[in-house]
Structure 1
Amino acid sequence: MVVLKIVCANCHLASKNLDVRMPHQVLPDTIFKTTIEIPAKYAKRMQPIASGEKGQMNVGAVAIMPEGWKLAPKARLPKALKKEMKGLAWAQYSKELPNIVVAGPVPGAQYEKMTLPILAPDPNKEKDIYFDKYTFYYGGNRGRGQVYPEGNLSNNNQFFAAATGKVTEIDGLKVTVTKDDGTTAVTECLPGADIVVAVGEAVEAESWLRDKNSPLLSLRSGKTVSRAKMAAIRSRRQSGTA
Structure 2
Amino acid sequence: FELAPPDRISPEMKEKMGNLSFQSYRPNKKNILVVGPVPGQKYSEIVFPILSPDPATKKEVHFLKYPIYVGGNRGRGQIYPDGSKSNNTVYNASAAGIVSKIVRKEKKGGYEITISDASNGHETVDIIPPGPELLVSEGEYIKLDQPLTSNPNVGGFGQGDAEIVLQDPLRIQGLLFFLASVILAQIFLVLKKKQFEKVQLAEMNF
Same fold (TM > 0.5): yes
Q: Which amino acid aligns with 2:30?
A: P
Asked if 1:202 is matched to 2:141, the reply is yes
In structure 1, C-alpha distance between the alignment counterparts of 2:40 and 2:143, rounded to whole Å: 38
In structure 2, C-alpha distance between the alignment counterparts of 1:183 and 1:93, rounded to whole Å: 53
Distance 1:75 1:188, change over 3 A: farther
Q: TM-score, with normalisation over the residues of structure 1?
A: 0.51
Q: Encode CA deviations 1:119-168: one digit per residue, 9 max, x unaligned.
A: 112222224322211110112344x2352462444433222111223323
Match of 1:104 among 36, 40, 48: 36
Partner residue in 1 for 2:87: 155
Asked if 1:77 is matched to 2:16, the reply is no
In structure 1, C-alpha distance between the alignment counterparts of 2:99 and 2:13, rounded to whole Å: 59
Pairwise CA RMSD of aligned residues? 2.8
In structure 1, C-alpha distance between the alignment counterparts of 2:3 and 2:149, rounded to whole Å: 43
Q: Which amino acid aligns with 2:9?
A: L
Partner residue in 2 for 1:145: 76
In structure 2, C-alpha distance between the alignment counterparts of 1:98 and 1:171, rounded to whole Å: 53
Distance 1:237 1:123, change over 3 A: same
| Residue ranges of structure 1 left out of the alignment (5+ in a row) | 1-68, 207-214, 220-233
Percentage of matched positions with identical amino acids = 34
Q: TM-score, with normalisation over the residues of structure 2?
A: 0.59
Asked if 1:177 is matched to 2:110, the reply is no
In structure 2, C-alpha distance between the alignment counterparts of 1:83 and 1:94, rounded to whole Å: 26
- Contact 1:167 1:198 (C-alpha < 8 Å) held by counterparts: yes
- Contact 1:170 1:176 (C-alpha < 8 Å) held by counterparts: yes
3-state DSSP of counterpart to 1:176:
strand
Where is the helix percentage greater, Structure 1 or Structure 2? Answer: 2
Partner residue in 1 for 2:19: 87
Asked if 1:216 is matched to 2:147, the reply is yes
- Contact 2:90 2:152 (C-alpha < 8 Å) held by counterparts: no
Structure with bigger gyration radius: 2
Q: Encode CA deviations 1:179-201: one digit per residue, 9 max, x unaligned.
A: 45555433333333221222233
- Contact 1:161 1:216 (C-alpha < 8 Å) held by counterparts: yes
Distance 1:148 1:196, change over 3 A: closer
Partner residue in 2 for 1:10: none
In structure 2, C-alpha distance between the alignment counterparts of 1:96 and 1:153, rounded to whole Å: 35
Partner residue in 1 for 2:174: none
